């Protein structure tokens, strides 16, 4: 049986911990005094029952990823946390891969991983920063210059610190300083043109825009790019991609890229909105919110000016195609090179959803939606599956392949708009979501389609399947670690991230009720986040498991389990990772009460298993750590 009441709370001065029967950790914003009795709605779940299999597997994963992470770190890092690697590293590529090797450690802690992981994650961040500063790739603790696909891979790690503990002084100082690189606050890094609302180059960082790249900058990337299409077909004497590794022809590619690409803004730069939103959620300063509105709004205006087609290059005067002979395609990481559609989907999805999160205004979702609508109009059916164009060039749309469902699922999940669901279904026609087909990818977000199938009731076993598959993948990576006899100096940049045994997608989906973040720099959009009031920290308390099994436009349902047979557990549920949503009601069985806050406390009696139905208004609060 469930009982619901208001837990009274004593208020302390600002900045001090809250005390009383309902404890809140310092980093969780609290309901303002004077709202009712100033307490949290509290729900008691008292019915004991044997723990379901998914709960046992979830707790196993939360606990056993810890020794896996420690074994991985012992193998590949020195006592000071730096990677056991080489003394020198050339070019501009690489620091992202150093950070990526441990990028999800603070998220693991924030989900309920042990305290040791939190301290270790910060130590490793600082160590990678020092190491790649010595290599010359990092300057003033931020990547000296690179593109925002790679910056996004790096700084996802940094953003997760806000979920782990936003009160850390060094983190807060860095959050403000890093964002200042794109707000004109660092005279040595004039990356942003506030008048034209554009980022001045695809290659930016703590040393400012990089308008002229050298052969040395690209030295580590040339063999990789030899496997991609050429950026242009009209470079004299360059007719095949092996020109990247030909010292006689490569300078011609470089000259063309410098002349056409490097003095322009590109959609990829929308990923920088995560860095700015991170500072907004740390400080609450409205200048960051205004920057996001201005910059995302500028790309929406450019898309409208271009007949509804997202242009992939904008010159220094704000003119589309300014250095591309008027062509709206051909920019850096644009419609043609190197990945095509993939980058346009990710960058607009990150920018549009960040603006929605910052403002609560769904109009910004029209930016990523326009890209989906564009390729849907060009779609066709091949071998029973819908395919869409991945690239555009002088010959029009080409390179037709199936779309990655993760992007479409993420847009629909955030918008909850029936139009996006219809398009999701149309664009993924012929793909089965009924069972899990586990794929190994460094992004840890490849299974959004199968997760959606679970929410829709087509695979009740998905929680067990994804948790088993996740643990198996962690074990597989550990086996690679143990068998690794490579010489450190011979290891490539992806060596460590391919072996990181901390795999979290299943935990994010099941616990938080959302898809994992967009890998290349996205923030975590979810329905629920958890705090442990006894230990005053984020994450599920010991012995507690959670499964979100229903998501609707105005609600979420979660199963909660206390595996401890003789001790109760308290857990605080927050509406969204950043408190951006609001619980309207909390119900259990036949009892429902109003909430009207972005947090609710649940008391789980010993051995309790219960299901909580939470009414929700989405994106109604300013996001905050």
Low-confidence ranges of the chain (pLDDT < 70): 1-38, 434-435, 438-443
At residue 545, the pLDDT reads 98
Compute CA distances 561 → 83, 610, 614, whole Å.
Answer: 39, 7, 16
Size of the chain, expressed as the number of residues it contains: 625
Q: Under DSSP, is residue 334 helix (H, G, I), strand (E, B) or coil?
A: coil
Q: Which CATH class is domain 55-512?
A: mainly alpha
At residue 1, the pLDDT reads 42
Name the DSSP letter for residue 394.
Answer: T
At residue 439, the pLDDT reads 67
Q: Which CATH number fits domain 4-54+524-617: 2.60.40.1180, 3.30.420.40, 3.20.20.220, 1.20.140.10?
A: 2.60.40.1180
Give the strand pairing for 40-45 and 599-604.
parallel
At residue 255, the pLDDT reads 98
Q: Under DSSP, is residue 584 helix (H, G, I), strand (E, B) or coil?
A: strand
Which among 202, 162, 158, 196 is positioned nearest to 178, based on CA atoms?
158
CA distance 303 to 313: 11
Are the CB atoms for 315 and 193 separated by under 8 Å? Answer: no
At residue 443, the pLDDT reads 61
The contacts of residue 303 (CB under 8 Å, 6+ apart) are 309, 310, 311, 367, 370
Are the CB atoms for 313 and 331 separated by under 8 Å? Answer: yes
The contacts of residue 359 (CB under 8 Å, 6+ apart) are 289, 292, 293
At residue 561, the pLDDT reads 98
Element (H, E) at 376: helix 366-377
Give the strand pairing for 537-538 and 528-532.
antiparallel
Are the CB atoms for 579 and 598 separated by under 8 Å? Answer: yes
Q: Under DSSP, is residue 432 helix (H, G, I), strand (E, B) or coil?
A: coil
At residue 466, the pLDDT reads 95
Element (H, E) at 142: strand 142-143
CA–CA–CA angle 412, 416, 417 (5° rounding): 85
CA distance 254 to 252: 5
Q: Under DSSP, is residue 32 helix (H, G, I), strand (E, B) or coil?
A: coil
At residue 20, the pLDDT reads 31
CA distance 594 to 98: 47
At residue 590, the pLDDT reads 82
CA distance 181 to 192: 8
CA distance 289 to 291: 5
Are the CB atoms for 228 and 179 separated by under 8 Å? Answer: no
Element (H, E) at 494: none
The domain spans of the chain are 4-54+524-617, 55-512
The whole-model pTM stands at: 0.93
At residue 430, the pLDDT reads 75
Element (H, E) at 75: helix 53-76
């Amino acid at each position: 049986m469930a009982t619901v009441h208001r837990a009274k709370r004593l208020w302390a001065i600002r900045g001090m911990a809250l005390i009383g029967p309902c404890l809140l950790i310092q980093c969780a914003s609290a309901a303002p005094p004077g709202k009712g009795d100033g307490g949290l709605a509290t729900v008691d779940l008292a019915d004991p029952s044997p723990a379901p299999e998914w709960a046992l597997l979830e707790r196993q994963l939360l606990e056993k990823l810890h020794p896996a992470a420690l074994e991985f770190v012992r193998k590949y890092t020195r006592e000071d946390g730096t990677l056991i690697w080489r003394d020198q590293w050339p070019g501009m590529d690489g620091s992202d891969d150093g950070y990526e090797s441990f990028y999800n450690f603070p998220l693991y802690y924030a989900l309920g991983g042990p305290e040791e992981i939190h301290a270790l994650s910060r130590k490793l961040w600082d160590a990678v920063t020092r190491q790649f500063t010595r290599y010359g790739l990092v300057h003033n603790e931020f990547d000296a210059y690179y593109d925002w696909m790679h910056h996004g891979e790096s700084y996802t790690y940094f953003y997760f610190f806000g979920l782990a503990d936003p009160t850390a002084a060094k983190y807060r100082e860095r959050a403000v300083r890093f964002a200042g690189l794109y707000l004109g606050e660092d005279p040595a890094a004039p990356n942003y043109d506030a008048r034209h609302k554009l980022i001045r180059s695809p290659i930016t960082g703590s040393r400012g825009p990089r308008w002229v790249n050298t052969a040395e900058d690209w030295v580590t990337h040339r063999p990789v790019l030899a496997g991609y299409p050429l950026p242009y077909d009209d470079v004299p004497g360059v007719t095949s991609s092996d020109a990247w590794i030909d010292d006689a022809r490569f300078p011609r590619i470089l000259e063309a890229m410098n002349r056409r690409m490097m003095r322009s803004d590109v959609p990829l730069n929308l990923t920088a909105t995560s860095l700015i939103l991170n500072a907004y959620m740390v400080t609450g300063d409205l200048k960051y919110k205004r920057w996001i509105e201005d910059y995302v709004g500028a790309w929406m205006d450019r898309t409208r000016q271009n007949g509804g087609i997202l242009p992939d290059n904008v010159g220094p005067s704000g003119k589309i195609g300014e250095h591309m002979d008027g062509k709206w395609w051909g920019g850096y990481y644009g419609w043609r090179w190197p990945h095509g559609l993939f980058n346009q989907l990710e960058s607009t999805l990150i920018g549009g959803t960040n603006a929605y999160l910052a403002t609560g205004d769904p109009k910004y979702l029209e930016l990523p939606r326009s890209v989906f609508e564009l390729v849907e109009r060009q779609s066709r059916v091949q071998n029973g599956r819908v395919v869409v164009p991945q690239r555009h060039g002088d010959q029009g749309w080409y390179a037709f392949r199936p779309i990655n469902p993760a992007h479409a699922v993420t847009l629909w999940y955030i918008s909850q708009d029936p139009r996006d669901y219809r398009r999701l279904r149309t664009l993924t026609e012929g793909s089965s979501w009924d069972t899990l087909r586990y794929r190994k990818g460094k992004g840890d977000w490849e299974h959004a389609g199968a997760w959606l199938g679970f929410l829709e009731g087509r695979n009740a076993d998905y929680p067990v399947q994804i948790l088993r598959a996740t643990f198996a993948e962690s074990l597989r990576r550990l086996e690679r670690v143990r068998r690794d006899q490579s010489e450190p100096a011979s290891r490539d940049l992806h060596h460590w991230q391919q072996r990181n045994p901390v795999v979290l997608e299943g935990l994010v989906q099941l616990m938080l009720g959302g898809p994992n973040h967009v890998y290349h720099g996205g923030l975590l959009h979810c329905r629920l986040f958890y705090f442990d009031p006894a230990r005053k920290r984020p994450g599920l308390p010991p012995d507690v498991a959670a499964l979100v099994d229903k998501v609707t436009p105005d609600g979420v349902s979660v199963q909660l389990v206390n595996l401890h047979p003789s001790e109760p557990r308290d857990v605080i549920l927050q509406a969204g990772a950043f408190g951006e949503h609001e619980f309207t009601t909390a119900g259990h069985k036949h009892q429902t009460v109003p909430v009207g806050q972005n947090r609710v406390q649940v008391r789980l009696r010993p051995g309790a298993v219960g299901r909580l139905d939470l009414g929700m208004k989405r994106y109604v609060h300013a996001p905050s750590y």
